[in-house]
Amino acid sequence: MGAHISIPMYQRAVPQRYRLVGQRCLKCGKVNFPPKAVCKYCNAGFEFEEVTLSGRGTVYSYTIIAGGGAPPEFAEQAHCQGSYPVVVVELEEGPRVIAQLVDPPPAGITIGMPVRAVFRKIYEEEGVIRYGFKFRPA
Amino acid sequence: MSISVVSYGVYLPFLRLGREEYVNALGRCSADIKEKTVMDVDEDTMTMAVEAARKAVAGLDLERVGVLTLASTSYPYQEKVMAGTIVEALGLRKNILTGHHGSSTLAGTEAFLSAAGLLVGSGEKYALVIVSDAPVAGASAEMEHSFGAAACAFVLAADEQGLELEGFYSYVTESLGLRFRPAGEKELRDIGVRTYSSQAYNEMVGAAVKGLLNKLGQKPAGYRHVILHQNDVRTTVALAKKLGFGDEQIQEGLVYGQVGDTGACSPLLGLCRVLEKTVPGDKILVGSYGAGGGSQALSFKLNCRLPGRSESFQVLLEDKKYISYTHYLKLKRSI
């Protein structure tokens, strides 16, 4: 079973999914992404300023999802590509995020490899295209 | 009020299908391409639009963008405000005038001219024009062999130096049976008579270009580059020559051989390529075409150099991965 995300729930996260809008804690200065009610770094700050992240970062870790292991919303993609890489990216502003990597280098993915965010279709459900970010070698 | 392009951006998908893939699989390739661009499984005309637009607006004060026009013959939805996706993806102002153009490959220059008009009418400072296209036909259709994918975006400014729009001329008439798609269908059709389609192209593009030259009192020799719509390169080059342009004016703007037929993008993608080779004082003539049919000719003059871009057109052409015809059919959801 895939993790079903309802359309209204996806809609609420559009700014962060489409252009990486995060928040800077006014107490400790750290950047939270995705946005939180209380800062996950100082556990005290609850006031934030909005920041749009650059999308630049480096690969912190990665894995390859084989065709059979893909959740149902990614089945069509797995059918086309066979397998696809998923990376944990450490963004230059600090947060670590998980996303797919597109156009991986022929020599393979390496830890520390620079990447940048790109705008892609993540999957389609109920006839609605869910757009969001993936990463690409920079 | 003057309207000028002050920056632009281009996006080409990473995947390419070479001509020999068609020859190996089908015995022939009906398009005179070397290779063409192909969208990956997670791309569509909106994702390409966002990538091209992000390059075009880099460094721009987004609060001053008050107009957004889009063009594509192949939007991912038949009904929906597509500009909403762009506004959120780029973080544009929500008080923005929008225009969606489609239904023929004329859409690209239509979106360009309507953005210029809205800019004049509204008193806003900047307009963003995004043209993103990827025509689709069935795997058994001859015309499909040439179909590529690309996006380009332009920032237009009121009363600012750049690539100034000097004038334009439009020509529209009834023209049946050429590159059409009945309501509800996904794949393009054509009666497939090449001389008939070339005649229509020559009539309309020829009339628009001649009309513009007359209107502005210009001669072909006054232009550094001419870029006409390319859905087959022989017809394009033959018409440009017949109109009085020489090889050195025509060659730089020919992008068809490396990207294929990019629909509404075609002449504007050529414009993006020649802009790298243009110096202040140069004039450029662009002629679009839409089957059914019509053409719009636009005359530009470069007043000052446009900001440099991080990737040249050549770099984009070389950043690629070749796929097999079988993989291409999977991406087309044909198998």
pLDDT tens-digit profile of B79-114?
A: 999 999 999 999 999 999 999 999 999 999 999 999
pLDDT by residue (tens digit) across B209-253? Answer: 999 999 999 999 999 999 999 999 999 999 999 999 999 999 999
Q: Are residues B178 and B243 in the same domain?
A: yes
In this structure, the answer to whether residues B156 and B12 fall within a common structural domain is yes
The tens digit of pLDDT for each residue in B275-284 reads 999 999 999 9
pLDDT at A42: 97
Kindly state the average pLDDT of the residues A103-114. Answer: 96
User: Is B47–A76 a contact, with Cβ atoms under 8 angstroms apart?
Assistant: no
Q: Does B154 share its domain with B66?
A: yes
SS (HEC) of chain A = CCCCCCHHHHHHCHHHHHHCEEEEECCCCCEECCCCCCCCCCCCCCCEEEEECCCEEEEEEEEEEEHHHCCHHHHHHHHHHCEEEEEEEEECCCCEEEEEECCCCCCCCCCCCEEEEEEEEEEEECCEEEEEEEEEEC
Domain count, chain B: 2
For residue B172, give Cα distances in angstroms to B141, B177, B204, B323.
27, 15, 7, 39
Q: Hey, is the C-beta of A118 within 8 angstroms of any chain B C-beta?
A: yes
A80, A100, A120 ranked by CB distance to B47: nearest: A120
CATH of domain A55-137: 2.40.50
CATH value at residue B265: 3.40.47.10
* DSSP alpha helix (H) spans, chain B: 19-26, 45-57, 83-90, 107-122, 194-216, 233-242, 247-250, 256-259, 266-275, 313-318, 325-331
Nearest CB neighbour to A19, from listed B47, B90, B327 = B90
Helix (H, G, I), strand (E, B) or coil at B210: helix
pLDDT for A1: 45
Q: Do B88 and A77 touch (CB under 8 A)?
A: no
The parent domain of residue B110 ranges over 3-160+308-331
Residues B320 and B291 in one domain: no
- Let me know whether B140 and B26 are in one domain: yes
Distance from CA of A89 to the nearest CA of B (A): 20
All structural domains of chain A with their residue ranges:
55-137
* ipTM of this complex: 0.96
Q: What is the pLDDT of residue A68?
A: 83
Looking at beta carbons, which pairs linking B136-139 to residues 24 or more positions away fall under 8 Å?
A: B136/B74, B136/B186, B136/B187, B136/B188, B136/B332, B137/B187, B137/B188, B137/B189, B138/B187, B138/B334, B139/B329, B139/B332, B139/B334
Report pTM: 0.97
Of the candidates B41, B43, B50, which has its C-beta nearest A81's C-beta? Answer: B41
B262-278 confidence digits (pLDDT tens): 999 999 999 999 999 99
Contacts of A106 (CB under 8 A, 6+ apart): none
Q: Is A46 on the interface with B (CB under 8 A)?
A: no
